[in-house]
Structure 1
Amino acid sequence: MSLYTRSITHGLIKPARLNFVRSLVHHDRGRPSRIVSTLLLSQIRPVDFIDISRTKRPRIGILPNLFATHDLHYFTDNNRKNVDFPPNAKGFLYLHSPGPHAPLSLFSLRFRICESAEEGRDGGGRDLMLPNGTEPWEKSMKWMLRHGFVEGLVESGVIASPPVLEDPIYDTLFRRKHKTIVYKPGQTFSIPLSPAKKTDCYSLFVVGEGEVVPLRIGGWRAFTAMLNIKDELTVYVHLTLSRFQHTPKDLIQICLSEDATSELKKGTVLPYLKVMGHNIMQPVGTPNGEDPLQSANRILRNQGEVMHSKIEARRSSRL
C-alpha cells in the first residue's frame, strides 16, 4: 500500500494542515456564498455548510494557490441535459472512499445532504443522488485530478502524491457509467440475470494501487438455463481465491453471497461460470507476462493480507 493511501485510510492526517482546497461555491457568477475549508467529513465545520439547491452549474473556485473555477453539473439520465440541483441540496462536499484501504484511484467527490456540521461529522445524512434515484452524484478521482482538487490535497499534506491516472485503462474505467469494481476479497457485487440477456459475459475490474485488471465472467446463458429462469433475477456474488490451483483458470471462482433461489444457497460455488481475462482491454501496472487471473489473484490476496493485519493490530491495541 502506498503512502498516499495510508495517509487517508489509516488516519495519518494532520488536522492543522487541512485547510487545503479553499473552494468557493457560487450560486451565481457573482460573489461567493461560502468557503469550504475541508473535504474530510471528520473535519467538517459550520462554515463548510453550503446550499446549492435549485442552482444550475454552481461554480467552485480553488484556493489559495489554484485560482481556476469549475462548474458542478447535475444531469438527467437519458440525454445528459444540464438541470438544476434538487431543492434539498444543502450540506457538504466531501472526499468519499468506497471502503477501508480502498485504492486512492477509487476515491471520489460527493455531496452529503445533512442539517449541521455535527451530523456530517457523525456520519449522518445521506448522499445526494442522481435523478434516477439509484446512483449517487459524484465526481471521479480523474475529474478531481484534472480540475486541481488533488493538487490541493497533496499541497496540504493529506496525501503524499497524486495517483497516476494517465493510462488509457483509467479513461475506460471512469468513462463507463455502470461498472463493477472489486478491490478486496469477499466483496459482494450484484449481477442481473434475465432470459433475454444477449451477451454471455459480464465485465468487471479488479483494482489495486496503480493496477487495474479487466476481467470477464462467462457462461451466463448456460447458468440461466440451468436455473430455468423465466423472469429477471439479481444474484449477489463475490470472488473466491483458490488455494490449490494448477492453472490460471483455477485461481478465481464465483461464489454466492446471499441465497437466491431454492437451488442457490449462500456459499455455493456457481457452476458453468468461468472467470477469464478480458478479450479487448489489457491489465495496467501489472508485471509483464503475468496472466490476468494471476494478477487479479495477487491483488486481492495482498489486499486481504493488509486488511487482516490492520484488524489484528486493532485487536492488539485493545488488550
Structure 2
Amino acid sequence: MAPKSLKLNHTCLRVKDPKASVEFYTSKFGFQLLEHKKFPDMKFDLYFLAYPHKDAEGASLPFGREGVLELTHNYGTENDPGFKINNGNVEPHRGFGHICVSVDNIEVACDELEKQGVKFQKKLTDGRQKNIAFALDPDGYWVELIENGIGKQDGKTDVSSYRLNHTMIRVKDAQRSIRFYREVLGMKLLSTSEHPNAEFTLYFLGFNDDDSFVENSLTREEQAALEGVLELTWNWGTEKDEGFKYHNGNAQPQGYGHIGISTDDAESYCANIVAKFGDEVQWNLKYDAGKLKNIAFVRDPDDYSIEILATKPKL
C-alpha cells in the first residue's frame, strides 16, 4: 500500500534568466517565492515558488505540500546570447507539454495577463476549445489556464483562488505509463478525457489517500480545484512505432527537468520499490547515493525523471 504522506510536490523547469522567470511567475501569476537555495560548488541555484493558499498543507514548506514550481538556473546561461531553453513542444524535441494554473475567472485572468504584456500561444478565442488558454513564460514554456470557479465573481479575479493544477507530459504507450505511475509510484487515476476526432487521450493521475476514492471518477470542476496532478497525453498509435521516442527534457537541448514526489519516509519508499520491482524499474540515482543527500531519481517508461525526496530532509 502506498504511504499516505505521498505528494506530487513539484515540477522542475530549467530557466535561462532567473530574475526574469521569478519576476514573471510572481508578478504576473501571483506565485510567492518560498525558498532560494544556492549550490555554488555545483554552479546552480534552485527557486521554489507556490501559491500560499489556506488549503495547502505545509504551505510554507517547499517539500511538505503540492503545487510547487522549482526553477533551476545553471550559472552563466543568462549571459549566453545563443542559449535557448527547449520548451518541449517543438519537433524534434517534443515531450514535456506544459504546466497548468487553474483560476477563479478565466476571462478576467486572461485579460489581466494580456494587459501586463504576457504573450499567448493560444488565447481563449483561438481554436475550438474556448475554455482554455496557453500563456508563454520568458523561456517559451507553455502555461495552460483553466477555470476552477473557486469563489468566482463577475468581473474579478482573486489570486488566492489560483492553483498550480497539473503538469503535462506526452507518453508513447499509455497503458505502460499508467501502470508505472499507479503500481510503482502509488498514484491513482483521477479522470480520463478521450478525443477521438483528434486521436489522442488524456489521463490525469495524482495521489489520493482516501481509501474510498473511486478511480477515474473526478469531474472537470473537481479536478481543476486540485494541485499535484499529472497529465499524461497519449497520441494514438505511437506505441506501435518501434522507433518513436519522446524527448525527456534532460538530454540536449535541455528544458523540463522532472516532477518531484515527497513522502515522510523516502528511504523506505524507495527500498520498497526496489524490493517489489527489482530491475524492472530503472534509477538515475539511488536514494542518498549522490552529492545531494535525501533524494533519489527514478525513470518512467519514457525516460522522464522523477525525483523522490523526504518531506523533511534529514540534516
Please indicate the TM-score interval, normalised by the length of the shorter structure. under 0.3
Structure number having the greater strand percentage: 2
Larger RCO (CA under 8 A, 6+ residues apart): 2
| Structure exhibiting the larger radius of gyration computed from Cα positions | 1
Structure number having the greater helix percentage: 1
TM-score normalized by the length of structure 1 = 0.25
